[in-house]
Structures are given as structure tokens and as C-alpha cells.
Amino acid sequence: MGSCIHIGEMLARNARMYPNDIALIERAPAENKRKAITWRQFDEAANRFANALMKKGIKKGDKVVHLMMNSIDWLIAYFGIVRTGAWAVPLNFRFTSDDIKYCVGVAEPKAMIFGEEFIDRIDAVKGEMPSIKHYFFVGKETPAYAELFEVALEASSSAAPRVEITYEDPCGLYFTSGTTGTPKPILLTHRNMVCACITENAHHHQTKQDNFILIPPLYHTGAKMHWFGSLIVGGRAVILKGVAPEWILEAVSQERGTIVWLLVPWAQDILLKFDSGELKPQDYNLSQWRLMHIGAQPVPPSLVKHWKEYFPDMAYDTNYGLSESTGPGCVHLGIENEHKVGAIGLPGFNWEARIVDPNGNPVLQGEVGELVVRGDGVMRKYYKNPEATANALKDGWLYTGDMARQDEEGFIYLVDRKKDVIISGGENIFPVEIEDFLHTNPKVKDVAAIGYPDERLGEIVAVVIEVIPGQTLTEQEVIEFCETLPRYKRPKKVFFGEVPRNPTGKIEKPKLRQKYCGMGEAFKI
């Protein structure tokens, strides 16, 4: 494997040190199923898949597309791919056939592993993906053109493949979630992955005794990179298949979970069931649950305050990151800074951050500018896109596209995505401020603020409100509630409906602009 302690070698080290300890638990509450594997079993299975790929001619620098729902097999396949020196190309499980074909066209992979949920989507475009020579299938009824994953493992050696891997070698091609247009391929290296392990562990102090409840999609850099903080110390994890408040609480209770990373909607759903009395915290064993943290989106301070009413002794952290920074941690609040909830925090461990003007010069304290970060987690490049790379990477700094400001103590507050800023009569209006304000209304479950075209002002503020089930809220009530906002920030149009979020919790504003303004992403470019 070489001397570089990359994530594949971390798994091997855990297998040597803790061979018989449980590494991963998979819970499928809808099917009432549970299974677990040890570190040795995890390590050997990853080696078997690596050897199965190498028998097919997969070598260092090749690409393997990875399209599966969360499971233990997802991680076995992932570690198997990176141990060959190939690049893992994990795809969003929501991608359509056309999305899959597009990503395959960019990546030009030689192999694909996919789950049974994706048979129809793969069948529809298989003839248009000529680079893929080998298909591995995870599921029951194997397509004629694919080899069953389990059979491939059984037929392969559990010995570690002898592939020299360095920190500078690429290991992953991650496509952005696509809320802002065509997904962009982000090339990440082994150094990037190790940075995520170290940063996450420094922030949340995982030990071997921790049990990480892993819920968000593994194809994304978010949850997986948080779990890396446990991987580096041999802490176990629970992969929870499916999201419901009672399933999360049961997993924490029955598996003695200590850390849970939630998205805003999931935390809201738990609180709603507590508030209604449908679920009661005292019915679960939750005393060992030491940390709840949220990332991937702005977090309403009112949500955290509400959470602490039920869990006053639980630590809380906000994490900021993006796929281009190998996931979360380049900025984080810090569990010791709960009094600053509302901020995304300070530069993360081994990271730098600045807020700059359009020329790249630091802005004055308190002024709004673009957040830029620098550290070992910054991507190598946007693959096959030198123009986008040049716009995002300048002198080692990653330009995030997020607008932010800094207070007198150095804490950074996210203001909004650059392209989501509403410009009304020449005034910049940041949707997050309006959204945070409306989240304090007890009848509001979720809310999104968008720019609505206006002939006189260019744009006016429109809000889309998802009301808590069983509650009623009128347009007039919303207008009156917002009267304490400065006049130019007050919503001029109020819509009621679902607030769509992608699998990582980000509001899909192009969809809202399309639905309510009759315009898609082009309106904001």
C-alpha cells in the first residue's frame, strides 16, 4: 500500500489494531433489519473488491462510477476503488438517466458499480456510455450485462493490493449537487481526504468510544467526511437507511449513538414531534448523545434555541464547507462557541479564511464580501474545466461563491450565495436574513426568500412558506409579522407551498424561481 497513511491505509490500520471490534452497523428500520461487520471484515471486503476491479484491468488513474444508496456495501465498494489507485466517482442517487450519462461522459470511467434502485436508469442509457466495460451490481436480480458484487468478492483475494499511493494522487471525482445548474466535477486527492479526517477529529474530538450515526447520503462529501473523524481513531458508525424522527431516535437509543449530524429539516421534524407529544425524549436512552451538529445550509438560530430546550446539556456545532473544500470544516462554529449561534464560525483547524471584494482585497470588518478559504482540503481543480477552475482557485485560495461578513471577534456570518442575492432598487438584500427572521414565526416549518422580477425595482422580495402541518397562516399575517423588518427587506409577495431541498439540505432556489417567477437559473446568472 505504500507508506502514505491515506484513508485506505487508515482502514487497514484499524483492522490490524481492532480486528474483532464492530466497525459498521447498518439499520434498515422500514424492513426491520440490522447487520454489522468488524474492522477485519470491512478491510478484507474492501481488498476483495479492489482485487476484483484489478482483475478486470482497472488500474491507478482509471475511474469507477459508484451509484448506490447508503449501505455497508457502499463503503466497501468505495474503499475498494481507492485502494486500486483508481478514482471513485460517486453519483447523486437523484440523478436522472441523462444526468448519469452526462457525468459518465465527463469522467470516462471503465467500470460502474450500481444498486438495484438504478436498473431502469442505467438500462435507458447503457448504449450511450461506451467507456464502461464492466458493471458490478448490488441487489437481487442481476442484469445480464453485470456481475453480482457478492460473487465478485467471493472470487477475489482478501490480500491487500500492492499499489503505491501518495498524498498527491487523485482519488475522487465528486459532482456538485447541481442546485445551481449543470453538476461540476471536482477532483479530490488523498491529501484532501486526510485533511478532512484530521480537521473533523480536531473539531469534534472523536475517540474509539464514539458511535457516529451516519444518515446523509454517502455520495456527498458532507456526512462521509464527518465520519472520517471517527475512521481515523477506529470509532464505530451506524448507517441509517431512511430518515424519520423515530428512526433517528431509536438508532441513537439502541446503538448508544454519541454523535449525530443532522440537516435542518430533520432537526425540525424531530422538534415538531416532540412539541406535538407524538414522540417523547424520555422514551429513549439519549443521555450518551453528546453532540448534534448541522451543516450544508444556513441554520436558523431559533432552531438551535428550540433544540437546546429539549437537550440543554448536548453540545452543538455548525459546520460550513463545500465539495470543493473536501466537505465540511474549513469554517466551523466550535462547540465552545455556542453563544455565537447564527455565525458559521471561525476558520477551521489548519484552515485560513478571508472575506474579499471583487478584486480579491480584504473588505473592512463588518462589510459583506465573498468568503475565500485556504487549506489542505482545497480541491485540485474542476476536472476538464480550466475556466471554472481559474475563477474558483486564485493564489491558493478557494473562492466559495458565498457572501459573508465578519464581526469584531472574527466570527464569520454567512449572508447568502452570490447568485441568490436579491438586488432591489440598487439595494443588496440577503435572503438568509429574511429566512432566519421568518423561522422565528411558530407557524413556519420552512421558508425560502427569492428575487421576484419587478419592472421598477428590478427585483422585489418574494417568500415561499411551508406551514407547520395543522396550522394556518395567511398572506396578511405574514406581511404584518414582517413589519419590523426594514421596509426594503419586507416580502412583497407571499406564496405557500413546499420548500424543495436537495439531499444535502440546500434549498433548490432555481426550482422555486422557475415555479413562482417563471424563470430558472438563467434569471440569476
Using an 8 Å Cβ cutoff, are 337 and 407 in contact?
no
Q: Tell the burial category of 298 from Cβ atoms under 10 Å away from its Cβ (0-12, 13-18, 19+).
A: buried
Lowest model confidence (mean pLDDT) among 118-132, 157-171, 198-212, 454-468: 454-468
How many alpha carbons fall within 13 Å on the CB side of residue 3? 0
Complete domains list, the chain, with CATH: 38-188 (3.40.50.12780), 421-524 (3.30.300.30)
Rounded to two decimals, the pTM is 0.85
Helix (H), strand (E) at residue 381:
strand 381-382
Q: Does the pLDDT at position 520 exceed 70?
A: no
What are the pLDDT digits (tens) for 288-325? 999 999 876 667 888 899 999 999 999 999 999 989 99
CB neighbours of 429 closer than 8 A, spacing ≥ 6? 421, 422, 423, 461, 488, 489
Indicate the angle between helix axes 190-204 and 7-17, nearest 10 degrees.
60
Q: Tell the burial category of 268 from Cβ atoms under 10 Å away from its Cβ (0-12, 13-18, 19+).
A: buried
Q: What is the pLDDT of residue 414?
A: 83
What are the pLDDT digits (tens) for 88-143? 999 988 888 988 999 999 999 999 999 999 999 999 999 999 999 999 999 999 99
Average pLDDT taken over every residue of the chain: 92
Provide the residue count of the chain. Answer: 525
Higher pLDDT, 521 or 164: 164
Q: Does the pLDDT at position 70 exceed 70?
A: yes
